[in-house]
């Protein structure tokens, strides 16, 4: 999207991420998705009289993991507050959240902009809160159903500074958060199930204006595409109102993807409208320095660091390094192949090429890959030791994939696939080929190097791929240079 001349855009995102705990943030009810309506909400999730919430320690671990990963400060004392509002899917009449004492303060996310440079987006804060239930509008004509299974699901709300200047940056930032949360395995990242939802605060101002313009908040965008579209429509709307001499009202809006517009839901509430007050049923949560240090010590190597290591220690290309480090389990798999093969370049080629395309073809994740990293690593070793050719390796790979064998070495031995490196076995083949193709032989002698491939191909064919192509090359040249 091109921003109209004379205007600039400021965007801040609030991202609600469901933390993937077994049970809810303040109760023992299950968080499992897709169960029959209202089968997983207990009296605590509904705030029935006489019940008391208690905090799920897991959510603190996950929030701290996230905070440390973005270089944020962790508040050792975090407190819960009540945010009061009415909505049918919030039968309690309030949401338990963190207002003045969020668990995570500050931090930053680095994104890649479209012109290839890096940009830092500052994170203001991230706080813990409970999810609400869901209103189901399409279950019966004329009715709205209420499903409270989601009520009490733990959320980490990640709030950014208005550092985002266009839709592309917003999507890059949202994707970076999604990647980090799934890499840390604190959120399943399943957007179709609502595990990650975006609210976008958008305002526009004249190029030379210093103060931010009047903002609108677009609620509950549940895909990267909707986020991008909503920003386009909303900025166009705001700019056209201002260019026509109108004024904007700060409001909360809904994005309608079918009608390609945003619609005002209500004028924006301020914090006082929610009558926040300290949650009287929960004590402040004090995290010890040891608790935080232990989480720090157990943090996995993060994607950026990992990609850097692949480039500097293993001399992988930037694109190989980025691809192999974007998914934690894929990176772990690659690291093991590397250990067993001792050849980073080749390990990267096999994992990125043959392995990933097979996995994609069968819609499998790396964690259920039929070939273990050890066995793939051993196969790469056989290539490097000259035991098999790259061509034969393809067949060995297929055998490993289909579980015909566990061990590349066994398979090669049993099927006699060892590379033929015995010159005396290959030389007669070359002699015969030269005799059968005198014209090509003469041209090659005369300097038509392209014909070398022709002869090598014929030898490989005759040996069913078992000859060593490098050696065949050398032998052909040698033969042809003989008088």
The binding site for Mn ion (CB under 5 A) comprises: 157
Closer residue to Mn ion in complex, CB, 157/217: 157
The CB-side HSE value for 237 (13 A sphere, CA atoms) comes to: 21
We find the least distance from the C-beta atom of residue 350 to Mn ion, in angstroms, to be 44
Distance CA 33, CA 15 (A): 20
We find the least distance from the C-beta atom of residue 314 to Mn ion, in angstroms, to be 42
Burial bucket for residue 407 (CB in 10 Å: 0-12, 13-18, 19+)? middle
Distance CA 108, CA 119 (A): 10
We find the least distance from the C-beta atom of residue 14 to Mn ion, in angstroms, to be 7
Closer residue to Mn ion in complex, CB, 157/279: 157
Closer residue to Mn ion in complex, CB, 198/455: 198
We find the least distance from the C-beta atom of residue 131 to Mn ion, in angstroms, to be 9
Strand 277-278 and strand 261-267: the pairing is: unpaired
CA 37 vs CA 95, 146, 479: distances in Å? 20, 8, 79
First and final C-alpha spacing in the chain: 68
Distance CA 197, CA 187 (A): 12
Closer residue to Mn ion in complex, CB, 99/376: 99
The CB-side HSE value for 341 (13 A sphere, CA atoms) comes to: 28
We find the least distance from the C-beta atom of residue 90 to Mn ion, in angstroms, to be 12
We find the least distance from the C-beta atom of residue 240 to Mn ion, in angstroms, to be 30
Closer residue to Mn ion in complex, CB, 252/415: 252
Closer residue to Mn ion in complex, CB, 159/241: 159
Closer residue to Mn ion in complex, CB, 222/421: 222
Closer residue to Mn ion in complex, CB, 85/139: 85
Question: Which of 276, 243, 299 minimizes the C-alpha distance to 65?
Answer: 299
We find the least distance from the C-beta atom of residue 97 to Mn ion, in angstroms, to be 6
Closer residue to Mn ion in complex, CB, 125/466: 125
We find the least distance from the C-beta atom of residue 26 to Mn ion, in angstroms, to be 15
For the chain, what's the residue count?
Answer: 483
3-state secondary structure 52-119: CCCCCHHHHHHHHHHHHHCCCEECCEECCEEEECCCCCCCCCEEEECCCCCCEECCEEEEECCCCCEE
We find the least distance from the C-beta atom of residue 157 to Mn ion, in angstroms, to be 4
We find the least distance from the C-beta atom of residue 275 to Mn ion, in angstroms, to be 16
Tokens in use for 29? 């009810």
Closer residue to Mn ion in complex, CB, 112/252: 252
Distance CA 259, CA 252 (A): 18
Closer residue to Mn ion in complex, CB, 21/98: 98
CA angle 71, 80, 293 (to 5 degrees): 35
Burial bucket for residue 194 (CB in 10 Å: 0-12, 13-18, 19+)? middle
Closer residue to Mn ion in complex, CB, 31/95: 95
We find the least distance from the C-beta atom of residue 99 to Mn ion, in angstroms, to be 11
Q: What are phi and psi of 468, to 5 degrees?
A: -90, 110
Closer residue to Mn ion in complex, CB, 199/335: 199
SS3 205: strand
Q: Which residue is nearest to Mn ion (CB)?
A: 157
Distance, CA of 102 to chain centre: 25
Distance CA 306, CA 296 (A): 17
Q: Do residues 124 and 158 lie in contact, with contact meaning Cβ atoms separated by under 8 Å?
A: no
We find the least distance from the C-beta atom of residue 229 to Mn ion, in angstroms, to be 22
β strands within 98-230, DSSP E: 104-105, 108-112, 118-130, 134-136, 145-147, 154-160, 196-206, 216-221
We find the least distance from the C-beta atom of residue 132 to Mn ion, in angstroms, to be 9
């Amino acid at each position: 999207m091109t921003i109209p001349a004379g205007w600039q855009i400021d965007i801040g995102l609030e991202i609600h991420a469901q933390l993937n705990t077994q049970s809810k943030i303040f109760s023992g009810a299950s968080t499992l998705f897709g169960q029959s309506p209202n089968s997983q909400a207990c009296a605590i999730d509904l705030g029935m009289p006489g019940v008391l919430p208690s905090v799920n320690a897991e959510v603190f671990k996950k929030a701290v993991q996230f905070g440390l990963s973005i270089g944020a400060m962790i508040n050792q004392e975090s407190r819960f507050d009540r945010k009061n509002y009415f909505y049918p899917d919030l039968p309690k009449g309030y949401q338990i959240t963190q207002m003045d004492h969020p668990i995570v303060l500050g931090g930053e996310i680095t994104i890649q902009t479209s012109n290839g440079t890096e940009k830092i987006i500052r994170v203001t804060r991230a706080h813990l809160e409970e999810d609400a239930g869901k209103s189901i509008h399409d279950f019966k004509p004329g009715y709205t159903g209420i499903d409270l299974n989601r009520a009490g699901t733990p959320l980490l709300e990640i709030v950014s500074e208005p550092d985002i200047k266009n839709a592309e940056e917003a999507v890059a930032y949202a994707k970076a958060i999604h990647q980090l949360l799934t890499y840390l395995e604190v959120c399943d990242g399943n957007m179709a199930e609502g595990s990650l939802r975006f609210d976008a605060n958008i305002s526009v101002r004249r190029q030379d204006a210093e103060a931010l313009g009047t903002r609108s908040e677009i609620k509950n965008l549940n895909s990267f595409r909707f986020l991008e579209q909503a920003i386009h429509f909303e900025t166009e709307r705001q700019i056209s109102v201002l260019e026509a001499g109108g004024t904007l009202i700060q409001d909360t809006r809904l994005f309608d993807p079918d009608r390609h517009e945003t619609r005002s839901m209500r004028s924006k509430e301020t914090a006082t409208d929610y009558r926040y007050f300290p949650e009287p049923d929960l004590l402040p949560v004090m995290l010890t320095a040891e608790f935080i240090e232990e989480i720090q010590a157990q943090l996995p190597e993060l994607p950026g660091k990992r990609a850097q290591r692949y480039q500097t220690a293993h001399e992988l290309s930037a694109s190989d390094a980025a691809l192999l480090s974007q998914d934690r389990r894929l990176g772990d798999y690659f690291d093991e192949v590397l250990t067993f093969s001792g050849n980073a370049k080749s390990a990267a080629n096999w994992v990125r090429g043959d392995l990933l395309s097979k996995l994609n073809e069968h819609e499998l994740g790396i964690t259920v890959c039929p070939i273990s990293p050890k066995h793939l690593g051993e196969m790469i070793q056989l290539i490097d030791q000259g035991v098999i050719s790259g061509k034969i390796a393809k067949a060995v790979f297929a055998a490993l994939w289909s579980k015909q064998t566990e061990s590349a070495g066994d398979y090669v031995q049993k099927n006699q696939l060892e590379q033929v490196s015995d010159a005396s076995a290959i030389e007669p083949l070359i002699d015969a080929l030269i005799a059968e193709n005198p014209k090509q032989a003469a041209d090659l002698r005369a300097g038509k190097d392209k014909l070398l491939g022709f002869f090598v191909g014929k030898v490989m064919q005759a040996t069913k791929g078992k000859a060593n192509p490098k050696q065949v090359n050398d032998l052909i040249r040698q033969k042809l240079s003989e008088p």
